[in-house]
Structure 1
Amino acid sequence: MALPPDSSPLTTEYEERKLVAACLKGDRRAQEDLYRRFGPVALQVCRRYAPGREEAMALLNGGMMKVFEKLDQFRWEGSLEGWIKRVVFHSTIDQFRRQRKRPTLEIASWDQPTADTATHELYAEDLCRMIDMLPETSKEVFWLFAVEGYSHAEIADKLHFSEGNSRWHLNKARQLLRERLNQETHKHNRYAG
């Protein structure tokens, strides 16, 4: 059987299949290669939930352990990278649940107000504080939908309730955020001169 040309997607999948097969056989070098290859993109997922690099690395290591535990469940129905990112995300959320903490929104270099919106006078920290004040389930639904891009069906499956319940929590979160944005204390940017 001839190998596909080096830069084709088939070569990448072929290499990934060989790498996964070696990992499943317990090959430590292959496991290290998988970690090095996909760790950086998985770290980006963890950085969204951790206040610093050390915490993000701890989340990454826990998530990659889950990847190795579940690697035999990957069915090649999507990209390996996407599957790894999803496993790391689920592991991160599980770690926060166990610690009774919730993810925090990390926003880098957004220190400028956005124009012509209800939040045009708010800084990122104000918005984070408002999101953090939401009821726990509504906050989690809002986060999964608005930030992570999950559908209501996926959220309902993940949180073990109906899609209608997911929609209700999202609307409740939006309503509460809208009310807080319209309060007098948030109508003017406290940092503006």
Structure 2
Amino acid sequence: MQENQERELVKACLGGDRRAQETFYRTYGPAALQVCRRYTNSREEAMALLNGGMMKVFEKLGQFRWEGSLEGWIKRVVFHSSIDQFRKQRKRPTLEIAGWDQPTPDTATHELYAEDLCRMIDMLPETSKEVFWLFAVEGYSHAEIAAKLHFSEGNSRWHLNKARQLLRERLNQETHKFNRYAG
């Protein structure tokens, strides 16, 4: 969608036009759903996160300044809304351990299809999965992750290392179950 079309759509949404709001949701919902799917195992929970996030988007839509992409802004709002929803629902225990950010050697992952790897990542503990996605997939630094999730950089490094360790163990134990070419 071109910026002129986006501006008209946003203007109509802000004016309370229900059809425009539906078009907005259908246009940007799929990209926002991808953000939500990264943080939950179930489609139902992802849809709940998406709906809560899109409500926040509609609440804050008048604050969008057109300085970057509308879709990127929507994804950020949905991400922060998802984090807020997780905080309200669950108290995550965190553990502070420094010096655990050793590199993990790449093994066997090149033999997996993307959906197999995503399923394995979905099985990680919630906070470790969150940190892994932010670091490995979305490219955030430990400082940015720590700021977003409200804990220290050392905690972020620990969760990343824990996620890598669990994935490595699962790959070493069960490579044949995920590799479609294994005999």
Cα pair 1:139 1:173 within 8 Å, conserved = yes
1:151 to 131, 135, 141: 141
- Once the two structures are superposed, the pairs formed by residues 159-174 of structure 1 within 5 Å of their partners are 159-174=149-164
Of 160, 173, 176, which aligns to 1:189? 176
Matches of residues 1-193 of structure 1 in structure 2 within 5 Å? 12-48=2-38, 49-52=40-43, 54-100=44-90, 117-119=107-109, 128=119, 132=123, 134=125, 137-178=127-168, 181=171, 186=173, 189=176, 193=183
Matches of 1:190 and 1:82 in 2, distance apart?
Answer: 36
Q: How many equivalent residue pairs?
A: 165
For normalisation by structure 2, the TM-score amounts to: 0.65
* The 10-residue stretch of structure 1 (173-182 or 116-125) with the greater mean CA deviation from structure 2: 116-125
Deviation at 1:41, TM superposition (A): 2.3
Q: 1:99 to 1:178 in 2, by over 3 A?
A: same
C-alpha distance in 2 between matches for 1:83 and 1:130: 25
Contact kept, 8 Å, 1:67 with 1:87, in 2: the verdict is: yes
CA contact (8 A) 1:131 1:177 kept: no
* Structure 1 unaligned spans of 5+: 1-8, 103-115
Gaps of 5+ in 2: 93-105
Query: What letter corresponds to residue 189 of structure 1 in structure 2?
Result: H
Contact 1:121 1:189 in 2 (8 A): no
* CA shift in 2, pair 1:39/1:160, >3 Å: same
Change (3 A) 1:150 1:132: same
Structure 2 residue identity aligned to 1:51 = S
Which structure carries more relative contact order (alpha carbon 8 Å, separation 6+)?
2
Percent identity among equivalent residues?
A: 78
In structure 2, relative to structure 1, the CA distance for the partners of 1:83 and 1:167 (3 Å cut) is same
Q: Give the direction of change, closer, same or farther, for the CA distance of 1:172–1:31 in structure 2 (3 Å limit).
A: same
Task: Give the partner amino acid of 1:75.
Answer: R
Whole-angstrom distance in 2 between the partners of 1:169 and 1:82 = 26
User: Per-residue deviation at 1:158?
Assistant: 0.5
Query: What is the identity, as a one-letter code, of the residue corresponding to 1:163?
Result: E
Which is further off, 117-126 or 84-93?
117-126
Higher share of residues assigned helix: 2
Q: CA RMSD in A?
A: 3.7
Cα offset for 1:159? 1.2
* Runs (4+) off by over 6 Å: 120-127
Distance in structure 1 (CA, Å) of the matches to 2:47 and 2:118: 26
